[in-house]
Amino acid sequence: SGGEQQMLAVARAMLRRPKLLMLDEPSLGLAPKVARIVYDALNQIRQRRTTILLVEQNAKMALKIADYGYIMESGRIVLEGTSKDLQENEDVQELYLGLGGETISPKGWRLYKKRRTW
């Protein structure tokens, strides 16, 4: 299954005892139950002090294990902060975490200005 393949790929990477583990969409195409198993494993890896760089559309799941997050739109960082701050942000809750009370169109999204730091 897809979940087993993801777990195998992560396990192979962990055999080398990396300081950094980079993952692109580890929950893509997985059933929610299987995705939770993958994320439980990632959380265990994180707790062992391995840094994880994660690209993920499932913001709710990713922010549960993240220390810090970046939100990108059209290839640009539009918002960043600690996982806690992002989870408590009303716009993030509504647009990315599915906690909003009403459906809005992208035209109604609040745009953020971010100072470039590079």
- What's the rounded mean pLDDT across residues 37-47? 93
Task: Report yes or no on whether pTM surpasses 0.85.
Answer: no
pLDDT, mean of residues 20-29: 92
**82 and 35 both lie in a single domain:** no
Nearest to 56 by CA among 37, 39, 80, 74: 39
The answer to whether the beta carbons of residues 42 and 20 sit under 8 Å apart is no
The pLDDT, as a whole number, for residue 16 is 93
CATH number of the CATH domain containing 38:
3.40.50.300
Which domain range does residue 93 map to? 67-118
Q: In this predicted structure, what is the pLDDT of residue 118?
A: 39
Q: Which of 30, 57, 84 is the last residue of a domain?
A: 57
- Does residue 62 form part of some domain? no
